[in-house]
């Protein structure tokens, strides 16, 4: 019995999400490469003509990738990446390890994508610093969605504010599992003193998707509010970030 000296190739993580390659004699109306598509239907041309908001998630990813794989056009690869991660937001929140071994998005592309996401986070943080956050609930929600919205585990973040309610500093104070997380009010109070903060907005995500506060969420909010009041720091809001919505304790009248 002979044994091959060729090492086994690792399984392709995208293989399960890619369609079967087209046959050699495929229908000319269904090209395997976007190069056969009318120019007006290509993502770049559509973006220039109608703006980025007009493109689907698949088209945006395809435009970012630029090219496909042997037997699969760039749109096949874009769809497979969306299926692999589950959503565009989850893909944008991925780590370098999540992209490792994925055909179609090598180290250079994954590094570029991570850089773009980080630039977006910083741009939203700059926007949040430009004006009082209590007057810009939409900017806060956008920032938090990008920051923690797609995390696979619960994360508790603090947005420390100055006397004019502008953003001083953002800090992740706790990280938990899918359903549980330990938050320590004493540590948050200590950080507020260190940063000389006058106000605070706290937030956490619900990986389950539902932005519905639990009894423990309400209890923690009361403890934080009362603890911060002892050092003359106002808890402005507690936000829960779900998959589609954001719940605000302040807007619900629970502060």
Question: Exposure of 57 by Cβ count < 10 A (0-12 exposed, 13-18 middle, 19+ buried)?
Answer: middle
pLDDT confidence of residue 25: 39
pLDDT confidence of residue 138: 83
Structural fold of domain 132-248: Cytidine Deaminase; domain 2 (3.40.140)
Sign of CA dihedral 218, 192, 174, 133: positive
pLDDT confidence of residue 3: 39
pLDDT confidence of residue 28: 37
- The percent helix, strand, coil of the chain (3-state, each to 5) is 45, 15, 40
Using an 8 Å Cβ cutoff, are 71 and 33 in contact? no
CA proximity to 204, closest of 251, 248, 253: 248
CA dist., res. 230 & res. 139, Å (int): 29
Which contacts qualify for 29-37: CB closer than 8 Å, 24 or more apart?
A: 31/73, 32/71, 32/72, 32/73, 33/68, 33/73, 34/62, 34/68, 34/73, 34/74, 34/75
**Cα 96–Cα 101–Cα 103 angle in degrees, nearest 5:** 110
Using an 8 Å Cβ cutoff, are 116 and 128 in contact? no
Q: What does the pLDDT profile of the chain (255 residues) look like in tens digits?
A: 433 444 444 556 666 566 555 444 343 333 344 555 555 567 788 888 888 888 899 999 988 888 888 888 888 888 988 888 888 878 887 888 888 888 778 888 888 888 888 888 788 777 767 777 767 788 888 889 888 887 888 999 999 999 999 889 999 988 776 556 789 999 999 999 999 999 999 999 998 888 999 999 999 999 999 999 999 999 999 999 998 899 999 999 998
Ranges of CATH 3.40.140.10 domains, the chain? 132-248
Using an 8 Å Cβ cutoff, are 240 and 209 in contact? no
Concatenate the DSSP letters of all residues of 65-86 into one string. H---BTTB-HHHHHHHHHHHHS
Concatenate the DSSP letters of all residues of 195-240 into one string. TT-SEEEEEEE-TTS-----HHHHHHHHHHHHHHHTTT-EEEEEEE
């Amino acid at each position: 019995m002979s044994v091959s000296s060729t090492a086994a190739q690792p399984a392709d993580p995208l293989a399960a999400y890619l369609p079967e390659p087209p046959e050699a004699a495929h229908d000319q109306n269904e090209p395997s490469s976007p190069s056969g598509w009318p120019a007006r239907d290509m993502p770049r041309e559509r973006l220039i003509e109608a703006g980025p908001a007009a493109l689907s998630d698949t088209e945006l990813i395809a435009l970012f990738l630029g090219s496909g794989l042997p037997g699969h056009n760039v749109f096949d690869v874009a769809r497979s990446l969306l299926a692999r991660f589950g959503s565009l937001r989850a893909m944008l929140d991925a780590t370098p390890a999540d992209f490792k071994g994925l055909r179609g998005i090598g180290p250079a592309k994954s590094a570029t994508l991570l850089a773009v996401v980080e630039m977006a986070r910083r741009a939203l943080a700059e926007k949040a610093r430009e004006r009082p956050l209590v007057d810009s609930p939409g900017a806060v929600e956008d920032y938090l969605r990008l920051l923690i919205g797609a995390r696979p585990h619960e994360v508790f973040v603090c947005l420390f504010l100055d006397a004019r309610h502008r953003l001083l500093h953002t800090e992740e104070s706790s990280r938990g599992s899918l359903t549980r997380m330990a938050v320590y009010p004493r540590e948050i109070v200590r950080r507020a003193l260190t940063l000389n903060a006058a106000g605070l907005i706290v937030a956490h995500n619900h990986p389950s998707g539902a932005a519905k506060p639990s009894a423990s969420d309400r209890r923690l909010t009361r403890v934080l509010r009362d603890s911060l009041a002892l050092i003359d720091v106002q808890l402005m809001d507690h936000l829960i970030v779900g998959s589609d919505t954001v719940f605000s304790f302040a807007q619900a009248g629970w502060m």
